[in-house]
Amino acid sequence: MEPWLVVRFQHCRPEQPAGHRRIIMLERGRLDVGMLDYQICHQCRVGCINKLSITDDWQRRGLGSRALRHALVRGRGYDWVTSGQSPEGKAFFAAMARKTGVVFRECGGSCSHIHAAR
């Protein structure tokens, strides 16, 4: 069965400006199969990907790409940075950069508002 038929994306809004946002991926609305944690500062036009994780059984099915695209829509045209990346993460963000045209700087400097909200 295709993942978009059984996995629902639940968006958790930040409690403060530039605070943590989460996209939780739930299989059939119950089981947590993945999560994207990110922050956006609209004042500085910066986005920061803190963590993207998907359970082994659900990897390579487009869920990470879909979650990341949801985040990018909220910070369209912004500069994006990521936390440190595993070899798989480096390959994923390089592929997403080619697909979206967005440059993801690894361990780049985000803004003071994002740092203060951590």
With cut-offs at 50, 70 and 90, classify the pLDDT of residue 30. Answer: confident
Whether the Cβ atoms of residue 68 and residue 82 lie closer than 8 Å to each other: no
Contact 25, 11 (CB under 8 A): no
Angstrom distance (rounded) from CA 10 to CA 21:
11
Q: Can you read off the two tokens belonging to residue 61?
A: 């099915």
Residue 63's identity, in one-letter code, is L
All domains in the chain, ordered by first residue: 3-108 (3.40.630.30)
Q: What is the mean pLDDT of residues 1-26?
A: 85
- Give tens-digit pLDDT for 37-94: 999 999 999 999 999 999 998 888 999 999 999 999 999 999 999 988 888 899 999 9
Helices (H) and strands (E) in the chain, counts: 4, 6
Give the tokens for residue 117.
């909200």
Give the pLDDT score at 2.
60
pLDDT at 42: 95
**Residue 10 reports pLDDT greater than 60:** yes
Extract the tokens encoding 56: 């082994």
**Predicted TM-score (pTM) of this structure:** 0.89
Q: Tell me, what's the pLDDT at 80? A: 96
